[in-house]
């Protein structure tokens, strides 16, 4: 195709769509462990102060805020023989795999895990590297707008989220059963060597991330040459002037504040407040995995029938009503298994809906802009939201760390746990109530040209 011809997206097969979606399996595992379990591993296991762990996680969020924006922006700049996105995937995927291994296995290098200053610096440095390299997902995600037509994107997003949730199910089984068992052993003796059932999966997860990204880098054909003639500076200015996009970015930031707090605290809640045992964790993990697939199909179908905005508003309302469930840990029970099952079912239903949206919305907004300007700036539209989103998430990480420093309480004859584990759910609910009213009044997610 000559550069003067208008590039066209071609209809793609389910096989091509599935191949493109596959890397989400690896990224969901490693990001899920980092988001769900890092705070628990370093605080409950290694004994690091929650406020320090929260600060390290916050710095990771601020790092990715910059890195995702820059990788998206720069990947728009030059079309190479490998296209715009593949070079960044090839460079950054190995860093992502290496960083998750070192982040979860500090004992491989650190000589004294009782040295909390060294442990804090280790967590801080490797979480920053992890988050910076996770920005590889921005050029990868920007690729969607160039490879797939608008009516294919909900299906592609569902496939991505199917792999996301297979990964999350794998991650949940690993964290709820293996990582928490190791964390309990560390509570007794922080020098406990990681058992093979912990060590081997961590290494496999790191390798899997690299392998799946390289698979698409070499097997998915390079995208058509969508010309971008304006400079990076002008591209950024045009993006910022897109009013609806900026309103969407703020909505994602406000929501991300609440989502990040829930995702970061949910494992610690089940471990410390609900006191689930190993067998109970297995049951909860299976329930989570089954519910994930049910609700992915449900939310995709609802988007296609009711539209994106109406569906997203329902997700927010469900979260607002459900998240105060954390208060139920105040009720003495012989077993909290039923509460744990209900908690995980609700989390799967709500987050399964929310996680469908960014993939679709960024690509749709980029195409909406293309119809006005004639240029598809998919990279900057996929990367720019990370600035606001991760700033809000960083604040959320610091707040959750501060909440978990609150005094302990005792319910019935159970072990003590921090008051913060009770109140972080209602706080998330209030934040998402703000997101609901803001989105309802200001945000456009369904465009006329889609019809």
Q: How far apart are alpha carbons 184 and 360 in whole angstroms? A: 40
- Longest Cα–Cα distance of the chain, Å, equals 75
Q: How remote is the C-alpha of 244 from its chain's centroid?
A: 23
Confidence of residue 69 (pLDDT cuts 50, 70, 90): confident
Confidence of residue 156 (pLDDT cuts 50, 70, 90): confident
Q: What is the pLDDT of residue 229?
A: 65
Q: What is the pLDDT of residue 3?
A: 40
Instruction: Please check whether residue 9 lies inside any domain of the structure.
Output: no
Instruction: Please check whether residue 321 lies inside any domain of the structure.
Output: yes
Helix runs in 78-147, H state only: 86-104, 116-134, 137-147
Q: How far is CA 255 from CA 71, 320, 324, 390, 400, in A?
A: 23, 11, 16, 11, 15
Average pLDDT of the segment spanning 195-212: 96
Instruction: Please check whether residue 4 lies inside any domain of the structure.
Output: no
pLDDT at 99 over 70: yes
Domain with residue 395: its CATH number is 1.20.1250.20
Confidence of residue 4 (pLDDT cuts 50, 70, 90): very low
Q: What is the pLDDT of residue 311?
A: 93
- Residue 408, SS3? strand
Average pLDDT of the segment spanning 37-62: 90
* Beta-carbon count within 10 A of 183 CB: 23
Instruction: Please check whether residue 1 lies inside any domain of the structure.
Output: no
Average pLDDT of the segment spanning 41-70: 89
End-to-end CA separation in angstroms for the chain: 29
Q: How far apart are alpha carbons 256 and 130 in whole angstroms? A: 19
Q: What is the pLDDT of residues 266-292, one digit of tens each?
A: 878 988 899 887 788 778 878 877 887
Q: What is the pLDDT of residue 176?
A: 77
Q: What is the pLDDT of residue 377?
A: 67
Instruction: Please check whether residue 5 lies inside any domain of the structure.
Output: no
Q: What is the pLDDT of residue 451?
A: 64
pLDDT at 6 over 70: no
Q: What is the pLDDT of residues 217-264, one digit of tens each?
A: 999 887 777 666 666 677 777 778 888 888 988 998 899 889 888 988
How many structural domains compose the chain? 1
Q: What is the pLDDT of residue 1?
A: 39
Q: What is the pLDDT of residues 382-418, one digit of tens each?
A: 677 777 887 888 888 889 888 988 999 999 877 899 9
Confidence of residue 56 (pLDDT cuts 50, 70, 90): very high
Among candidate residues 344, 351, 347, 331, the one with its CA nearest the CA of residue 283: 344
Q: What is the pLDDT of residue 95?
A: 95
Q: What is the pLDDT of residue 125?
A: 95
Q: Is the pTM of this model over 0.75?
A: no
Angle between helices 385-403 and 420-442 (to 10 degrees): 150
Instruction: Please check whether residue 216 lies inside any domain of the structure.
Output: yes
Q: What is the pLDDT of residues 342-358, one digit of tens each?
A: 998 998 889 878 877 77
- Residue 209, SS3? helix
Instruction: Please check whether residue 2 lies inside any domain of the structure.
Output: no
Radius of gyration of the chain (CA): 22
Confidence of residue 2 (pLDDT cuts 50, 70, 90): very low
pLDDT at 295 over 50: yes
Average pLDDT of the segment spanning 127-150: 86
Q: Across all residues in the chain, what is the average pLDDT?
A: 85
Q: What is the pLDDT of residue 148?
A: 82
> In b/e form, how buried is each residue of 17-47, taking b as 16+ CB within 10 angstroms?
bebbbbbbbbbbbbbbbbbbbbbbbbbbbbe
Q: What is the pLDDT of residue 224?
A: 72
Range of the domain at 194: 14-450
Q: How far apart are alpha carbons 430 and 94 in whole angstroms? A: 39
Q: What is the pLDDT of residues 363-387, one digit of tens each?
A: 788 778 777 777 666 667 767 777 7
Q: What is the pLDDT of residue 319?
A: 96
Identify the residue whose tokens are 């999966």: 201
Q: How far apart are alpha carbons 300 and 446 in whole angstroms? A: 15
Most confident of 113-117, 135-139, 145-149, 323-327: 323-327
pLDDT at 362 over 70: yes
Q: How remote is the C-alpha of 221 from its chain's centroid?
A: 27
Instruction: Please check whether residue 7 lies inside any domain of the structure.
Output: no
Q: What is the pLDDT of residues 103-116, one digit of tens each?
A: 999 998 998 889 99
């Amino acid at each position: 195709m000559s550069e003067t011809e208008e590039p066209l997206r071609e209809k793609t097969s389910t096989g091509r769509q599935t191949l493109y979606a596959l890397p989400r399996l690896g990224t969901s595992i490693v990001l899920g462990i980092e988001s769900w379990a890092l705070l628990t591993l370093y605080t409950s296991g290694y004994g690091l102060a929650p406020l320090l762990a929260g600060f390290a996680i916050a710095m990771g969020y601020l790092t990715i805020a910059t890195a995702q924006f820059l990788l998206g922006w720069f990947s728009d700049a030059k079309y190479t023989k490998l296209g715009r996105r593949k070079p960044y995937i090839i460079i950054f995927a190995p860093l992502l795999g290496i960083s998750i291994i070192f982040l979860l296995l500090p004992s491989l290098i650190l000589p004294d895990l009782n040295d909390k200053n060294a442990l804090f610096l280790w967590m801080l440095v490797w979480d920053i590297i992890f988050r910076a390299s996770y920005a590889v997902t921005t050029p990868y995600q920007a690729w969607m707008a160039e490879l797939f037509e608008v009516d294919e994107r909900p299906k592609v997003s569902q496939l991505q989220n199917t792999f996301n949730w297979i990964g999350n199910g794998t991650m949940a089984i690993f964290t709820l059963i293996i990582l928490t068992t190791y964390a309990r052993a560390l509570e007794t003796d922080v020098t406990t060597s990681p058992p093979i059932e912990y060590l081997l999966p961590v290494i496999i997860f790191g390798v899997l991330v690299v392998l799946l990204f390289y698979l698409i880098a070499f097997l998915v054909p390079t995208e058509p040459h969508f010309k971008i003639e304006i400079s990076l500076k002008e591209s950024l200015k045009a993006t910022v002037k897109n009013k609806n996009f900026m309103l969407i970015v703020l909505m994602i930031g406000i929501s991300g504040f609440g989502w990040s707090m829930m995702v970061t605290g949910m494992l610690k809640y089940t471990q410390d407040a609900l006191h689930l045992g190993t067998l109970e964790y297995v049951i909860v993990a299976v329930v989570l995995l089954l519910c994930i697939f049910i609700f992915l199909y449900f939310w995709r179908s609802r988007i296609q029938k009711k539209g994106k905005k109406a569906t997203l508003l329902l997700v927010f309302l469900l979260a607002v009503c459900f998240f105060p469930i954390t208060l139920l840990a105040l009720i003495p029970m012989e077993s909290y298994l039923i509460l744990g099952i209900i908690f995980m079912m609700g989390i799967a239903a709500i987050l399964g809906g929310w996680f469908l949206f960014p993939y679709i919305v960024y690509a749709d907004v980029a195409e909406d802009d293309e119809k006005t300007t004639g240029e598809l700036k998919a990279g900057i539209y996929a990367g720019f939201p990370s600035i606001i989103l991760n700033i809000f998430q960083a604040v959320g990480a610091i707040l959750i760390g501060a909440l978990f420093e609150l005094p302990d309480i005792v319910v019935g004859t159970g072990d003590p746990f921090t008051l913060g584990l009770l109140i972080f759910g209602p706080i998330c609910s209030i934040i998402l109530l703000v997101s609901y009213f803001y989105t309802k009044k200001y945000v456009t997610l369904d465009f006329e040209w889609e019809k």
